[in-house]
Amino acid sequence: MCGRTACNLKCETYCKATSYKDLKDTLYRQPEWHNEMNDNFEFKQSNNIAPTDVTPILVSGEEFVGYPSRILTPMVWGMIPPGIRIENVTTSKLYSEPLTKGRRCIIVCEGFYEWKTTEGPGKKKPYFIYMPQKNGVSIYDTNAWESAQWSEQYGWCGPSLLQLAGIYNKWKSSNGEDVYSYSVITMESSKTFSQLHHRIPAVLENEQLIEDWLDTRRVSASQAISMLRPTDNLTWYEVSSTVNNSRNKSVDCNKPISKIVNKSSTFMTSWLSGKNKKSDNNDNDQMRKKAKN
Active site residues: 2, 114
d(CA 257, CA 21): 38
Amino acid at 280: D
The strand pair at 235-238 and 199-201 is best described as unpaired
CA atoms of 199 and 66, how far apart (whole Å): 35
Cβ(61)–Cβ(67) below 8 Å: yes
Separation CA 129–CA 123 (nearest Å): 19
> Do the Cβ atoms of 31 and 19 come closer than 8 Å?
yes
Amino acid at 57: I
Render 55-78 in DSSP notation, one character per residue: EEEEEEHHHHTS-SSEEEEEEEE-
Transcribe 246-258 into DSSP letters.
Answer: TT---TTTTSBGG
Is residue 203 within 8 Å of 193, Cβ to Cβ?
no
**CA 129: distance to chain centroid?**
9
Tell me the C-alpha distance between 81 and 109, whole Å: 19
Structural contact between residues 105 and 166, judged by C-beta atoms closer than 8 angstroms: yes
Residue 39 backbone class (left: φ over 0; alpha: ψ -120 to 50; beta: rest) = left
